[in-house]
Amino acid sequence: MRLTVFGATGGTGTEVVRQALEEGDDVTAVVRDPARLGVPAHERLRVVTADATDSVAIASAVEGADAVLSSLGHRGGGPTTICEDGTRAIVEAMGKTGVRRLLVVSAAGLAADRGDGVFVRHVVKPMILQPLLKHGFADKRRCEDEVRASGLDWTIVRPPRLTDKQATGRYRTATDIGLRGGRTISRADLAAGLLGLLADDSVVRHHVSIAY
């Protein structure tokens, strides 16, 4: 598979690039600063330095890909539009180059539904997580809106709190519903789950929850 990864210098993006290369995929990593990419040079790794919010600048990185994966995010707690703006640019670049498959990492805290326990659904998410992370979540919501309106073969993946623990291979997934008791997942297991979803036609134009 030829995979283009945005957010490749983040914890999840780094794991995605590393694992995809281990699986034999050809990977294009789009980064602002190549020095921050925590993956050694590889014959199947192409590094493109570009602003992810510039659809013209990233078009060459997207062209020819079998799939595009975005794990763009904001490390601070203030207002941000990086996910919204980056996703809009990615969608535009995919439209221009004819690439169809898009996987975007969002956040489990955005959605409270019957898959969650009563306390999580009515207290933890709406009264604790969403106010605490309001700026990042607002950006993620607008990002999801861009994805759903794109007309592409998209999948939105919603993990809970991420850790840097080693992969276990024992994560759960659910389609279009939350995962009861799913409080954490390692970035390594999230990356494995994301790569597994890329070729899964059953999750096209669906939201997928992933957690332990």
State the pTM of this model: 0.95
| Residues whose CB is less than 8 angstroms from the CB of residue 88 and which lie 6 or more positions away in sequence, other chains included | 53, 55, 146
User: What's 197's domain CATH number?
Assistant: 3.40.50.720
pLDDT value, residue 142: 97
pLDDT digits (tens, 9 = 90+) for 80-139: 999 999 999 999 999 999 999 999 999 999 988 888 988 888 889 988 889 888 999 999
Cβ atoms of 116 and 180 closer than 8 Å: yes
Pairwise CA distance, residues 45 & 3, whole Å: 10
Is the predicted pLDDT of residue 77 greater than 90, yes or no? Answer: no
| pLDDT above 90 (res 5) | yes
Q: Angle between the 55-62 and 82-97 helix axes, to the nearest 10 degrees?
A: 50
Domain tally for the chain?
1
Q: Which domain holds residue 115?
A: 2-211
